[in-house]
Amino acid sequence: MNGNAKIRPVKGMQSLYGEDADRFAHVVETFEEVRRLYNFKRVEVPVLEQTAVFARTMGETTDVVSKEMWSFESRSEGSVTMRPEFTAGISRAFLSEGWQQHAPMKVATHGPAFRYERPQKGRYRQFHQLDAEIIGSADPLADVELLAFGAHLLAALGIEGVTLKLNTLGDQESRENWRGALVDYFSAHKAELSEDSQDRLEKNPLRILDSKDPRDQAFVADAPKMVLTDEAEAFFVKVREGLDAAGIAYELDPHLVRGLDYYRHTAFEFVTDQLGAQGTVLAGGRYDGLIEALGGSPTPAVGWAAGIERLAMLVDDNVTDKIEAAILPMGEAALAKAIEAAAYLRGAGFAAEIYATGKIGKRMGRADEAGARAAIVIGDDEIANGVVQYKDLATGEQTAMKLEEVVAPLTEILGREAMEDIEAMMGDQQ
């Protein structure tokens, strides 16, 4: 490599710092908190899988498989692919790592995914997803649990203007009947459809319903609707009743589809108007045929995914990490005491930072920017008397006290802030 060559990021990759990184972390931390409330167990799956895992589960004809997968030849494994999503890898692990013994299992994870598409504004070749799955349960309650998890997450993130769009794709019988009716209907208009929809007509006719091309939309409105079997209708009724019981509002959307044959019953998207045009922030559905497509026994499953970067764009501005205590040593002799104080406070669970250089006004300004709730000032007099000066930065009140005594007022401040947050959240829900 030329020593004078400019070092640059790989195309389609991004680095995060400051507020952007804090927003990203806030989404992940909130996801982990809500995951625990719903008893979804954390799992990890590899970034690399055999290409066949995604080709089988995402469909050979989809754009992701045909154009966007980041695949290469491995010397020992043949064709391997950087995961474009999580569900396929989790399903593969369910089959090959003995996870069947834990079914039904509620699992969740997050991390990077990769698509080798041409980078666009706001789109990257490495992006990050949240993912939640329930594998091994055919009970409509699983769909309700998963939808409740997603709704709770978006509410906890404070994302506004969200609507849950809901549809059913029926069971296998009703879906196959619908597919046939769609083929007959769109075939009569084939010459007037877009080129993409003409290609999809035989392979994947349900995807025509999701087309944004005006040539297709002219016919979509009058396309045959799904006619459910009694069993499929009963399943969808139970899902809707569960959502009603959980207090989760939804809108029925008969044009919300999933093109691949292994999808069954519930399909859903949480959409928001906060991105300008209506944008999807979390989406999923029931995929009872996917694990069978990987060579396993028929296994019911339902899941969702959400893009972390997109959610991070929508969270409140005030998520930057803050410190509880700013420690200001006044002179060289006080520096050792400041280090001791920082170690003590961090050990007690408080975020603390030492501001040792510069004029006191500048140091207080930096502490304020860091969100400090209190200042701990240590000078020669404090060292001599075995105390520190504790200053509440909200009230301006300053008191001399022993270091271990500052825990009580700091705890009180955090408790007060936590109560204010709870009251604000309850007010938003009313």
How many whole angstroms separate alpha carbon 260 and alpha carbon 425?
Answer: 39
* CB 128 within 8 Å of CB 86: no
Domain 325-429 -> CATH class: alpha beta
Residue type, 151: A
Chain position carrying tokens 């039904």:
104
The band of 424, judged by pLDDT with boundaries at 50, 70 and 90, is low
Percent of the residues in the chain that have a pLDDT greater than 70, as a whole number: 91
Q: pLDDT tens, 256-273? A: 887 676 788 999 999 998
pLDDT, tens digit, for every residue of 349-374?
A: 999 999 999 999 999 999 999 999 99
pTM: 0.85
DSSP string covering 301-348: EEEEEEEHHHHHHHS-S------SEEEEE-SHHHHHHHHHHHHHHHHT
120 vs 220, more confident = 220
- Evaluate if residue 346 carries a pLDDT over 90: yes
Pick from 58-67, 184-193, 241-250, 299-308: least confident: 58-67
Is residue 113 within 8 A of residue 128, CB to CB? The reply is: yes
DSSP characters over 196-237: HHHHHHHH-GGGGGG---HHHHHHHTTSPPP---HHHHHHHH
As annotated, the residues of the chain forming the CATH 3.30.930.10 domain(s) are 19-171+228-314
- Outline which parts of the chain fall under CATH 3.40.50.800: 325-429
Contact 144, 242 (CB under 8 A): yes
Smallest Cα–Cα separation from 326: which of 396, 373, 380, 386?
Answer: 373
Q: What is the mean pLDDT of the chain?
A: 88
| Superfamily the domain 19-171+228-314 falls into | Bira Bifunctional Protein; Domain 2 (3.30.930.10)
